[in-house]
């Protein structure tokens, strides 16, 4: 795939006229549209919910006017940014977009379905970027016909204030796509970092410890949320405490991210074979093509093993029901087992007898009095008295 955007140089990307479409006009989508417009990029804003994109444009206008009133932005710059934002009522209106950034709900199936629909609308050189904060970019691209143009472009909330963006390459993402997205982020004044497609990427991987440990402290009744936030702001230098951050991002976003990182990293790390399941026809024991290709040994009943340790003690106390134990007897009436002939107990006793016989057969050295001569003399004197 080649186009004026997808090249190995970043200088051309910064100078090219671009049309970036944003799908999802929530808090993140509106923030991304704003920073792109302020960076001189034409933006199409679309949302499947009726009226949401138009309301997002109105809210963006109010935000820019607020920045003007506080002296952070000139009136001309605010007017230029708003002139670059247009509302797209239908998904088909995005067919001329150079880049499409999705900022919809954090669900793998929803993102895959959206990219599948976009592939039938946009041209083959259009880059499809996902703003996912925790889902695998490779998994999202797996449902696309052209996974080479799928990439992660993760902004942080609030986008105008958090000037960091993660650029995440999937396993099949073309290298030039990542270069182009790095240049796009730099063009709008953000610091771009290129990271691997791992659970949580970079920031959310590290941030899980910040939030989840704070929740654990509250769950153990060590301190209240406002106390934890105050300590971390005043003593540790954080601009936001973990619970302030939860309220800013929203629990409807934070909880799915925590669950997603856990499922992909911690849970699958403990069972890595579950991350890439084999087809059913190739993983069944009857086909002899699972983990072991040779004939598997028969499964023995674990209850037949002698019961020792905590389980035996629990049986004696009545905590666990007693288990049936094999007699290991060749006699049909079990007489040999009761007398210890041929059973496990008899085998142990026979082994102990052999051990005692071996020890007795070893000649012992004569006893030596290891005390010093002075000690022996004192002992003899004491005895004579």
- The structure tokens 């654990």 sit at 216
344-356 pLDDT per residue, tens:
566 666 666 655 5
Q: At what angle do helices 225-234 and 203-219 cross, to 10 degrees?
A: 130
313: Cβ contacts below 8 Å, ≥ 6 apart: none
Percent of the chain with pLDDT over 90: 47
Across the chain, the runs of DSSP E, i.e. the strands, are: 19-23, 42-46, 85-88, 99-102, 127-130, 150-155, 164-169, 191-195
The answer to whether 197 and 154 have CB atoms below 8 angstroms apart is no
Report the pLDDT value the prediction gives residue 263, as an integer from 0 to 100: 77
Fold of 204-271: 1.10.1040
Report the pLDDT value the prediction gives residue 207, as an integer from 0 to 100: 79
Measure the CA–CA gap between 39 and 42, rounded to whole angstroms: 9
Average pLDDT estimate for 285-306: 44
pLDDT at 44 exceeding the cut of 80: yes
273's enclosing H/E stretch is none
**324 vs 54, residue with greater confidence:** 54
Average pLDDT estimate for 144-165: 93
Short-list 185, 122, 186, CA closest to 154: 185
Cα atoms in the 13 Å half-sphere on the side-chain side of 365: 3
What mean pLDDT, rounded, does the chain reach?
77
Task: List active site positions.
Answer: 133, 154, 166, 204
pLDDT at 278 exceeding the cut of 50: no
Structural domain boundaries in the chain: 11-197, 204-271
Residue 201's pLDDT band (cuts 50, 70, 90)? confident
Report the pLDDT value the prediction gives residue 334, as an integer from 0 to 100: 46
- The structure tokens 């008295």 sit at 385
Short-list 226, 227, 251, 229, CA closest to 240: 229
7-43 pLDDT per residue, tens:
444 445 555 678 999 999 999 999 999 999 999 999 9
- State the DSSP code for 136: -
Q: What is the DSSP string of 71-101?
A: TSS-HHHHHHHHHTEEEESSGGGGTT-SEEE
Q: At what angle do helices 225-234 and 242-249 cross, to 10 degrees?
A: 110
Measure the CA–CA gap between 268 and 261, rounded to whole angstroms: 10
The answer to whether 176 and 164 have CB atoms below 8 angstroms apart is no
130: Cβ contacts below 8 Å, ≥ 6 apart: 101, 102, 111, 115, 137, 140, 150, 151, 152, 153
pLDDT at 261 exceeding the cut of 70: yes
Average pLDDT estimate for 100-127: 95
The answer to whether 114 and 102 have CB atoms below 8 angstroms apart is yes
**Right CATH number for 11-197 from 3.30.70.260, 3.30.420.40, 1.10.287.1400, 3.40.50.720?**
3.40.50.720
Report the pLDDT value the prediction gives residue 317, as an integer from 0 to 100: 54
Residue 70's pLDDT band (cuts 50, 70, 90)? very high
Report the pLDDT value the prediction gives residue 254, as an integer from 0 to 100: 80
The answer to whether 46 and 87 have CB atoms below 8 angstroms apart is yes
Measure the CA–CA gap between 251 and 270, rounded to whole angstroms: 27
pTM greater than the 0.85 cutoff = no
pLDDT at 363 exceeding the cut of 50: yes
């Amino acid at each position: 795939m080649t186009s004026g955007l997808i090249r190995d140089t970043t200088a051309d990307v910064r100078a090219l006229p671009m049309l970036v479409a944003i799908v999802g006009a929530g808090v993140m989508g509106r923030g991304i549209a704003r920073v792109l417009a302020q960076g001189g990029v034409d933006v199409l804003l679309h949302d499947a919910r009726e009226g949401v994109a138009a309301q997002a444009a109105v809210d963006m206008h109010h935000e820019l006017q607020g920045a003007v009133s506080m002296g952070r932005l000139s009136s001309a710059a605010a007017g230029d940014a708003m002139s670059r934002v247009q509302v797209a009522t239908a998904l088909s209106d995005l067919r001329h977009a150079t880049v499409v950034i999705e900022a919809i709900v954090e669900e793998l199936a929803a993102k895959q379905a959206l990219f599948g629909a976009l592939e039938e609308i946009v041209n083959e050189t259009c880059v499809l970027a996902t703003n996912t904060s925790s889902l695998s970019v490779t998994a999202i691209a797996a449902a696309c016909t052209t996974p080479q143009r799928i990439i992660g472009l993760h902004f942080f909330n609030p986008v105008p204030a958090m000037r960091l963006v993660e650029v995440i390459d999937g396993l099949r993402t073309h290298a030039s796509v990542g270069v182009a997205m790095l240049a796009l982020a730099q063009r709008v004044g953000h610091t771009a970092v290129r990271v691997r497609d791992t659970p949580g990427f970079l920031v959310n991987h590290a941030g899980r410890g910040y939030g989840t440990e704070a929740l654990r402290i509250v769950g153990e009744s060590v301190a209240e949320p406002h106390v934890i936030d105050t300590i971390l702001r005043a003593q540790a230098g954080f601009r936001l405490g973990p619970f302030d951050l939860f309220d800013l991002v929203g629990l409807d976003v934070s909880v799915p991210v925590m669950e997603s990182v856990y499922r992909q990293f911690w849970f699958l790390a403990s069972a890595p074979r579950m991350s890439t399941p084999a087809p059913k026809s190739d993983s069944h024991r009857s086909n002899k093509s699972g983990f072991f290709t040779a004939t598997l040994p028969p499964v023995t009943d674990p209850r037949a093993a002698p019961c020792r340790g905590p389980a035996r003690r629990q049986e004696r106390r009545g905590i666990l029901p007693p288990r049936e134990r094999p007699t290991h007897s060749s006699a049909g009436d079990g007489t040999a087992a009761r007398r210890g002939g041929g059973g496990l107990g008899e085998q142990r006793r026979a082994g102990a007898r052999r051990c005692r016989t071996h020890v007795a057969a070893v000649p012992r050295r004569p006893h030596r009095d290891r005390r010093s001569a002075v000690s022996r003399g004192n002992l003899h004197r004491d005895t004579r008295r």
